[in-house]
Amino acid sequence: MRSDANIAGPMTDPVPGPRTESMGEDVSRETPPPMDDTPIGRAAQLAVEALGRAGEGLPRPEQTRIMVVANQKGGVGKTTTTVNLAASLALHGGRVLVVDLDPQGNASTALGIDHHAEVPSIYDVLVDSRPLSEVVQPVPDVEGLFCAPATIDLAGAEIELVSLVARESRLQRAIQAYEQPLDYILIDCPPSLGLLTVNALVAGAEVLIPIQCEYYALEGLGQLLRNVDLVRGHLNPTLHVSTILLTMYDGRTRLASQVADEVRTHFGEEVLRTSIPRSVRISEAPSYGQTVLTYDPGSSGALSYLEAAREIALKGVGVSYDPTQAHIGAQSNPNMVEGIQ
Ligand SMILES: Nc1ncnc2c1ncn2[C@@H]1O[C@H](COP(=O)(O)OP(=O)(O)OP(=O)(O)O)[C@@H](O)[C@H]1O
Ligand SMILES: [Mg+2]
């Protein structure tokens, strides 16, 4: 595995066409659009802006950044964040691999990747030492984006791994042996702290924790952080929590801003300035086998993930992120960038 800055250039337009934010049936949970928003024209304009931004490209990491997307709490936005950030980083010009490490296979579904029982998958890599290159598939519609899918077999892997040699470091070995140049590997973890998640923590250098802006947001995080410490102490000295992303932020509720404040007090610099709004478009996209970036590129959800990706990329090369330079869509969304709320 190596990084090769010359391989991937800015991506071509993968987008089928803009849709409007206001077309969803269940709009009651949607973060309201900015006051000056006239839905159709605005969405089209934002799509163009988003694609303009994407075409610019971003600084690429010197080495492949391996990010473990983990939180043992269920339904906080791990998979949604993995696939949409990965697509955003690819649209920004990077080469990105998503490793689906959840037997539910939600990341594979959301990326439109075939993952029925017969498909070569991450299970074969972990349990049968199959090379990663034999299971990786390109993601349709997004150039530079790839996925190692999970099939239902993976449900048995937690048990099967127990008796195998080097059971905690099988994913790490597979990734190290993978020769394709990559800028990012994003690993989508299941909502547990078993051997699958441990394999991810051993393989990665960075932990990205999505936190849902709801009650009990921080509950249980202590256990994840202790596991990160344990893995760092015994198996992977480079491991650290690099990124916290606030998800499903609803600016209409006081609770959301209270949770955001609490998380920022607790974690500080690791918390991205960009947060992800609650968006119907984000939740609809997986049922079409798409990320929100291709499903509705002008939506607030798509723009917020593009912006989060930009922030992550800039932080990775030591450039401080300036929210006033966020693209127009992010600035005009009152929920997206802290300081503009
Ligand atoms: N920003 C958002 N706005 C609206 N819905 C969202 C948002 N982010 C995630 N969701 C929805 O919330 C649900 C849970 O999200 P997701 O599957 O990403 O969580 P998860 O942490 O991966 O869950 P699990 O622990 O089961 O793997 C999904 O139905 C998803 O579509
Ligand atoms: Mg998930």
Q: pLDDT value at position 49?
A: 56
CB atoms within 10 A of CB 205: 18
Kindly state whether residue 132 falls inside one of the protein's structural domains: yes
Q: pLDDT value at position 322?
A: 73
In 3-state terms, what secondary structure has residue 150?
Answer: coil
Distance CA 296, CA 21 (A): 8
Pocket test for ligand 1, best of 82, 283, 292 (most atoms within 8 A of CB): 283
Count: domains in the chain: 1
- Structure confidence by residue, pLDDT tens digits, 63-72: 999 999 999 9
Which pTM does this prediction carry? 0.84
How, if at all, do strands 137-138 and 145-148 pair?
antiparallel
Kindly state whether residue 95 falls inside one of the protein's structural domains: yes
Angle, vertex CA 5, rays to CA 204 and CA 171, nearest 5: 20
> Which atom of ligand 1 is nearest the CA belonging to 188?
22
Give φ, ψ of 323 to 5 degrees: -65, -20
Q: HEC states along 10-36? A: CCCCCCCCCCCHHHCCCHHHCCCCCCC
- Give residue 86 CA to ligand 2 midpoint distance, Å: 14
Kindly state whether residue 212 falls inside one of the protein's structural domains: yes
> Which residues neighbour 141 within 8 Å (Cβ) at sequence distance 6 or greater?
14, 16, 112, 290, 294
Which residues of the chain register pLDDT less than 70? 1-56, 324-341
- Nearest ligand to the CA atom of 100: 2
Q: In what order do the strands lie in the sheet with 145-148?
A: 137-138, 145-148, 96-100, 184-188, 65-69, 206-212, 240-247
Kindly state whether residue 196 falls inside one of the protein's structural domains: yes
- Give residue 75 CA to ligand 1 midpoint distance, Å: 5
Strand (E) or helix (H) holding 210: strand 206-212
Q: Where are the beta strands (DSSP E) in 75-127?
A: 96-100
Q: pLDDT value at position 277?
A: 97
- Nearest ligand to the CA atom of 210: 1
> Which atom of ligand 1 is nearest the CA belonging to 247?
1
Kindly state whether residue 156 falls inside one of the protein's structural domains: yes
In 3-state terms, what secondary structure has residue 102?
Answer: coil
Query: Does 279 sit in the ligand 1 pocket, CB within 6 Å?
Result: yes
- Structure confidence by residue, pLDDT tens digits, 151-192: 999 999 999 999 999 999 999 999 999 999 999 999 999 999
Kindly state whether residue 141 falls inside one of the protein's structural domains: yes
Query: Does 285 sit in the ligand 1 pocket, CB within 6 Å?
Result: no
Provide the CATH number for the domain around residue 177: 3.40.50.300
Q: pLDDT value at position 326?
A: 63
Its domain, for residue 217, covers: 61-316
Query: Does 290 sit in the ligand 1 pocket, CB within 6 Å?
Result: no
